[in-house]
Structure 1
Amino acid sequence: MKRREFIAATAALLVSRRRSWAQGARRRLGFLAIGDGSGRALNQAERVFVDTLRSLGWGEGKNLVIEYRFSQPPDRLPASVADLVALNPDVLVAPGPQAAMALKSATATIPIVFVGVADPVQLGLVQGLSRPGGNITGLSTMVPDDFLAKRLEILRELVPGASKIALLVNPDNPMQRHYLAEEIPSMARRLGIVLLIVGATRAEELDAAFASAAAQHANAIIDFGDPLTYVEAPRIIALAAKYHLPAMYLFRHYANGGLSVYGAEAGDLMRRAGGYVDKILKGTKPSELPVERPTKFELVINMKTAKALGLTVSPSLLVRADEVIE
């Protein structure tokens, strides 16, 4: 092909692509959520993600197709990952460490944006926060201070004298496995308390986890924070009430009946993830986007639940709360 013909052909291709975009050419997004595997709807924070994309000009069903897979590991996760990767989407979105690790193991080429991973460096998802490298980046929940210790401190203010606290964990969560092995024993010794580990990998195991905490005479319980427990918030709140266990949760929607919440604002993380997806769809490489930490935290106390548990909340704690539910 002569040089002039090559230039003309290239220009025609560019014009064709511009016309395609103008006519609403669709990009494809793969969204892998770890939930109950029943094809549930998006949760509140995940809806913020979709709303953010819409505000940035990406309309689902217009110029964007979102392929959702809701999977409960370990049964359905491999099939869900294989389904999404086979579609060869422009971007993959992974809320939580299980989804992020599963997608990273499945593809080294499709861009991945994770949300809500405590320590992506420790898990091997990225090389570093400022220079993630590879095809993956996203939003971490890691903070400089010892965040779990801070949550325990607030819970012990709510329940003075609590010396035995249960931690509700998901053993399938790789980040939690790290904490259980490396951090929890030394933290318990440092704080002078007993930390009881109660686990659930499925919704139907939650009842047994709370029964175990009660049987071991726990004074209170902390939901470590996991996609499974996020989805099952109403069930967990009801179990805490059933066993009369003061509880500390990680996300705002638990405050609807839950005693206390302290954690990063999930909706803000998903909003920022939407911004990352927008940049990648417009040509930015994941390796060029540093992993960002949370910037918004909230402490919420439900006084109605506190009274039902016979707790007196100190004025100093009420002053520090971002919201007090009467």
Structure 2
Amino acid sequence: MLSKFKSTLRKSVKFAAAISLILPSLVVNPAVSAQEDETIEIGVLQLVQHEALDAVLKGFTETLDASEYADRIEWDIQNANGDQSALQSMAEKVARDNDILFAIATPTAQALATAETEKPIFIAAVTDPVEAGLADSLEEPGRNVTGTSDMAPIADQVDLLVRNFPDVKTVGIIYNSSEVNSMVQAKTATEELEAAGLTVEVTTVTNTNDIAQNMTALVEKVDAMFMVTDNTIDSSIALVGDIAKAAGIPTIGSSDSVVLTNGLATLSSSYEEYGIQTAEMVIRMLDEDLSASEMPIELAKEFNIIVNKEFAEAIGIDPETIK
């Protein structure tokens, strides 16, 4: 583990310094050289391949590959391809083989946190680390897990829907009932939508095979869709978005990359930026010899309105009017 290595390294440096006072002509301080050359093995576990999570990975790897540690990093990048049953065994191997761990999405973060309690675990695309049992609080994680939360500005997203579509009366929400992050968002969104005077119809799925039938039935009951960031739904956004377009209804919410693939609009931070932000935390840990438990979990730095012009035109909406 890096922290243990650094502790040993500091002792070696002190010893070498003492010897160098006695034999200055013979000692060249090998410990410092070892520190500079030590390989940093970074293990990544991603839940599934889809636009938002891929963007996180891109931002994370590119930022570290452009850092002063680039020449020392060895990458071990694994993708569970949505197979939740394989997560724990994959997490155990990634944890065993690497010094720093990076979990993309809530289920992978939970699997790595179960497999490893000492090595630093950085997370991204995790909505509520506290509810997921990964941290005591955002400010003081209290264990070996830190990183970034992609908690969406749901109240503002609801306002985006209401002010742009004042005639909407009933809003649909679809998500995977086994994803903690999705349940948290769906609950908050339902409360916000109802507070705005809207009726909410909620449909859940357990896997991608449920989506076509459930989504098709849902769009017949609603005037608009409120989309939470859900890995099952996002991985099938081509299908989900096409069903909404065929019904002629707007979809508001989810991540920037998912909306740009097949949604109408959202208020979101860039998921690539989440990866960058998390990588910067890793760099800060290495620079300052911090432990993950000392580093607060960070939220997005800014949110922007994202509009998919093609989707808007497909349902007869001028994209320039969405503000």
- Superposition TM-score, scaled by structure 1 size: 0.80
CA contact (8 A) 2:176 2:182 kept: yes
Query: Deviation of residue 299 (structure 1)?
Result: 0.4
Check 1:10–1:211 CA distance in 2 against 1; reply closer, same or farther (3 A cut).
Answer: farther
Cα distance in 2, alignment partners of residues 257 and 171 from structure 1? 22
Judging changes above 3 Å, is the alpha-carbon distance between structure 1 residues 185 and 293 closer, same or farther for their aligned structure 2 residues? closer
CA distance, structure 1, for counterparts of residue 201 and residue 18 of structure 2: 65
> Aligned partners of 2:28, 2:184: CA distance in 1, in Å?
49
Q: Of residues 173, 180, 204 in structure 2, which corresponds to 1:174? A: 180
Q: Is the 8 A contact 2:154 2:188 kept in 1?
A: no
1:286-325 residue pairs with structure 2 within 5 A? 286-311=292-317, 315=321, 317-318=322-323
Q: Distance in 2 between matches of 1:25 and 1:294?
A: 32
CA deviation string 1:92-122 (max 9, x = no partner): 1112222222222222111111113223233
Q: Report if the CA contact (8 A) 1:43-1:231 is conserved.
A: no
1:68 and 1:227 map into 2 onto residues whose CA distance is 18
2:46 is aligned with 1:33 = yes
Q: Does 1:49 align with 2:55?
A: no
Residue 229 to residue 274, structure 1, CA distance change in 2 (3 Å):
farther
Distance 1:106 1:141, change over 3 A: same
CA RMSD of aligned residues (A): 3.1
CA shift for structure 1 position 86 = 2.5
1:179 Cα shift?
Answer: 4.5
- Higher deviation after alignment, 123-132 or 232-241: 232-241
TM-superposed deviation, 1:139? 1.0
Aligned to 1:112: 121
| CA distance in structure 2 between the aligned counterparts of 1:285 and 1:33, rounded to whole angstroms | 23
Give the AA of the match of 1:35: V
Please name the residue that 2:7 is paired with: none
Separation (CA, whole Å) in 2 of partners of 1:225 and 1:268: 16
User: Is 1:211 matched with 2:219?
Assistant: no
Q: Who is 1:222 aligned against?
A: 226
- Whether the 8 Å contact between 2:237 and 2:262 is mirrored in structure 1 is no
Q: Higher helix fraction: Structure 1 or Structure 2? A: 2
Contact 1:96–1:226 (8 Å) recurs in 2? no
Q: Mapping of 1:247-262 within 5 angstroms? A: 247-253=251-257, 254-262=259-267
2:163 to 157, 164, 174: 157
The structural deviation recorded for 1:34 is: 0.9
Q: Is 2:86 aligned against 1:76?
A: yes
- What are the ranges of 5 or more consecutive residues in structure 1 without an aligned counterpart? 1-5, 319-326
| 2:4 match | none
CA distance in 2, matches of 1:189, 1:160: 14
| TM-score, normalising length: structure 2 | 0.81
- Is 1:241 the counterpart of 2:245? The answer is yes
Change (3 A) 1:17 1:222: farther
Deviation of 1:185 after TM superposition, in Å, equals 5.2
Partner amino acid, structure 2, of 1:244: G
CA contact 1:34–1:228 (8 Å) conserved in 2: no
Unmatched 5+ stretches in structure 2:
1-13, 21-26
Does the 8 A contact of 1:29 with 1:93 survive in 2? yes
- 2:17–2:29 contact (8 Å) kept in structure 1: no
